[in-house]
Amino acid sequence: MKDNRTDTRRTRTKLVHGGTKRSQWGELSEAMFLTQGFAYDSAAAAEARFLQAGEDEYIYARYGNPTVRMFEERIALLEGSEDGFATASGMAAVNGALVAMLRAGDHVVAARALFGSCLYILEEILPRYGVEVTLVDGTDLDAWEAALRPDTKAVFFESMSNPTLEVIDIEAVSARAHAVGATVIVDNVFSTPVYSRALDQGADVVIYSATKHIDGQGRTLGGVILGTREFIRKTVEPYMKHTGGSMSPFTAWVLLKGLETIDLRVRAQTETAAALARRLAGHPALAQVIYPGLTDHAQHEVAMRQLGAGGTMLSIDLAGGKDAAFRVLDALEVILISNNLGDAKSIATHPATTTHQRIPPETRAVLGIGEGLIRISVGLEDVEDLAEDLLGALSGL
């Protein structure tokens, strides 16, 4: 059988062929191995595999499965990591990476602008098990410096924050974290694996919710932890395989197909997002258009150095507050009101009343999540239809 599993090919080739394993029938498309278990040729073979499973040998789907392994290899090729562990959701990946490596007495520094469930793990769960957590403004390098200590074991942040699209400088934060020996764990969802060079820039571990751009078509929950073979197989795998957060083979198959097109999709979505940001900038109904690709974005220079693009997400701040935001959302015809992101369908979210509803208003104010803020995940529709939809909804104010 021809072997396309080479890491010397270019990105789009890796995304179509990387990690593919074929059965004796030589199927063209990746097979979905819907099996929890694997049968052994003999009792001695079972004993040997339990003693030490080989590179492509499986025991039980919670530990690994051929379709899941194909997904892990393909996303690891895209990110340029030695290995990866696929998880049932993005949150299983965040929780798994942190809990697998931390123990009572450890200290963690994290950026304050976090996805709600990530904040719950850091503020509620980890302290319950004796891990001390310090939250900082992720864009303030002096704040990182002041919070890091000799007992800091991990640093955690979203490289582009939700929903205010602050960009955190991976290189600068990693250099400071490594000076105290901390492991840098980056939740890279908004940056997307297409633009990420996080490992080259200093991150030790990169996490994706595959639910977002990797699926990109709103079908499944999934996640992945990427890092060195040592970290993935010695630290992450034992924790994940015994605690049940592994990815299902069906999910892995959907996500393998998502990876085949992710480069095309994310680049097209980014081009549309950039065009919409330019069209909306300066609109009289808007107090602000937030897009890392615009030169007036506070971390525009960091975004360009780190990602080379502004990404697929865009936020607009309505001068008229909640009332104006709701009127615009209700007037949209193409863009759907929902809370997912990275999807082929464009989605608008009002964070203050949905995804960030439970955050106290004072904290929302600190995070810059005002009542007029609308987050837009730009999809694959025609840019003119999206522009007409947004400008039409704004003109009704």
**Residue 115 makes contact with ligand PLP by CB under 6 A:** yes
Q: Minimum CB separation from ligand PLP for residue 216, in Å?
A: 13
Scanning 5-13, 83-91, 144-152, 228-236 for contacts with ligand PLP by CB under 6 A, the matching segment is: 83-91
Q: Which of residues 160-219 bind ligand PLP (CB under 6 A)?
A: 162, 187, 189, 209, 211-212
CB 278 within 8 A of CB 391: no
Binder of ligand PLP out of 223, 227, 245, 372 (CB under 6 A): 223
Closest distance to ligand PLP from the beta carbon of 221 (Å): 5
- Cα angle, residue 186 at apex, residues 183 and 192 outer, rounded to 5°: 150
Q: Which of 169, 186, 210, 213 is nearest to 312 (CA)?
A: 213
Residue 320: other Cβ atoms inside 10 A: 16
Q: Cβ closer to ligand PLP: 20 or 211?
A: 211
Given the complex with ligand PLP, which of 211 and 248 has the nearer CB atom?
Answer: 211
Q: In this complex, which beta carbon is closest to ligand PLP, that of residue 160 or of residue 324?
A: 160
Tell me the residue ranges of DSSP E strands in the chain. Answer: 83-87, 107-111, 132-136, 152-158, 183-187, 205-209, 223-227, 286-290, 313-318, 336-337, 347-349, 373-377
Contact between 118 and ligand PLP by CB under 6 A: the answer reads yes
Secondary structure (H, E, C), 128-167? HCCCEEEEECCCCHHHHHHHCCCCEEEEEEECECCCCCCE
State which residue, 94 or 332, has the beta carbon closest to ligand PLP.
Answer: 94
In the complex, minimum distance from the CB of residue 97 to ligand PLP, in angstroms, rounded to a whole number: 11
Q: How many CB atoms lie within 10 A of CB 20?
A: 20
Residue 114: left if φ>0, alpha if ψ -120 to 50, beta else—which one?
beta
Nearer to ligand PLP by Cβ, of 209 and 346: the residue is 209
> Is 85 a binder of ligand PLP (CB under 6 A)?
no
- Taking the complex as a whole, the smallest distance from the CB of residue 126 to ligand PLP amounts, in Å, to 16
Find the part of the chain contacting ligand PLP (CB under 6 A) among 112-120, 229-237, 269-277, 367-375.
112-120
CA distance 338 to 349: 6
Query: Using the rule CB under 6 A, which residue among 91, 182, 225, 367 binds ligand PLP?
Result: 91
Distances (CA, A) of 171 to 2, 29, 186, 229, 366: 39, 38, 11, 22, 25
State which H helix or E strand residue 203 sits in.
none
Nearest-CB residue for ligand PLP = 90
Is omega for the bond preceding 361 within 30 degrees of 0, making it cis?
A: no
Residues in contact with ligand PLP, shown as a per-residue x/- string from 122 to 161 under the rule CB under 6 A: ------------------------------------x---
Contacts with ligand PLP by CB under 6 A lie at 89-91, 94, 115, 117-118, 158, 162, 187, 189, 209, 211-212, 221, 223
